[in-house]
Structure 1
């Protein structure tokens, strides 16, 4: 009768020390939620892409191109790590360059699109819970760092510059320039 409590054969090899210990610990804290078989390679390779003091806030997994992809939201940027049989893709998106995030979801899976200056990326077959959570968190992050609404100092400076250009080109008189300038400054 086989003894199920004891393992037969050689013991498994001892784990090797991880070269990026601090980053690995912070990745593990988030990765256990998305630890499916297809993304383990990408999760293991994340310390090569992330800085030592970078904190991983959320992960979403899916397919990118012809392989597996992991979209990583850190405290500094959004990183897509994708890998296939012979390829490896790393795309970085600083938060100030991201213009929008789009989630198109079904019952179980969906597509997460990130639109940024100079392009964007798409992660398909993302589990609905991961996709909605990352899209919501990224949307809140982008809204918090959004440009100031019209009527703030940046907008008023642009209006004054346009007014100066109109006067310089002769489209308005000096008196109209003074009146409109006073009107803009009163709105402050």
Structure 2
């Protein structure tokens, strides 16, 4: 397995991947999208939206990151917003389905072993009572209260880091504001 020397938590999770094919750039870029104090617990690869990318289960949220040459895609699912998780496995790969805040996200072509392990760990995380935490260690609002300010702040950080384009920024900002 390839050595990344990114961060100890990311390196340890990357070493457990069956293959890093198609996700090396994302592993290198992962620290740019993590919040202060957020650590990576598990990684998997999969297909979501426009292409193959990296699924990271962190101490605070589930993240999908695709960092291509021509485009970048980041979508996160804070644990407090996830209502349920489904896993559908095939012979070699499977699909992780995440239901969060009225949305359904399907991450396809995940390697069967790492995808199922991530789905099981995610279910266990969701079953354990814990207070949600946002960027910079700030406590998230009570359940049911929209955390628009934190989502907009994260979006601003992603744009400033060059992780998303101006067009993606405007699109996601509009979706956040429309959710009010």
Tell me if 1:101 matches 2:85: yes
Shift of 1:71: 1.2
Q: What 5-or-longer segments of structure 2 have no aligned partner? A: 131-180
Corresponding residue for 2:173?
Answer: none
Normalised to the residue count of structure 1, the TM-score between the two structures is: 0.61
1:13 aligned partner: none
- 2:16 maps to 33
Aligned-partner Cα distance in 1 for 2:118–2:9: 17
Q: Which residue in 1 is equivalent to 2:148?
A: none
Shift of 1:53: 2.0
How far did 1:66 drift? 3.0
CA RMSD of aligned residues (A): 1.9
- What is the distance in 1 between the residues matched to 2:84 and 2:63? 15
Answer with 91-100 or 117-126: which moved more.
117-126
In the alignment of these two chains, the number of paired residues is 125
Give runs of aligned pairs for residues 1-188 of structure 1, distance below 5 A: 24-34=7-17, 35-145=19-129
- Given that 2:46 and 2:54 are in contact with CA atoms closer than 8 Å, whether structure 1 keeps it comes out as yes
Deviation at residue 85 of structure 1 after TM alignment = 4.7
Instruction: Report the CA distance between 1:33 and its aligned residue.
Output: 2.1
Give, in whole Å, the separation in 1 of the partners of 2:129 and 2:66: 27
For 1:40 and 1:84, the matched residues in 2 are separated by: 11
Report which structure shows greater RCO (CA 8 Å, sep ≥6): 2
State how far apart, in whole Å, the 2-side matches of 1:49 and 1:114 are: 20
More helix by proportion, 1 or 2?
1
**1:92 Cα shift?**
1.4
CA distance in 2 between counterparts of 1:33 and 1:104 reads 21
SS state at 2:35 partner: coil
Q: Retained in 1: the 8 A contact 2:14–2:20?
A: no
Q: Deviation per CA, 1:152-175, whole angstroms, max 9, x where unpaired?
A: xxxxxxxxxxxxxxxxxxxxxxxx
Measured after TM superposition, the shift of residue 84 of structure 1 is 4.0
- Structure 1 segments unaligned to the other structure (5+ residues): 1-17, 147-188
**Contact 1:63 1:123 survives alignment (8 Å):** yes
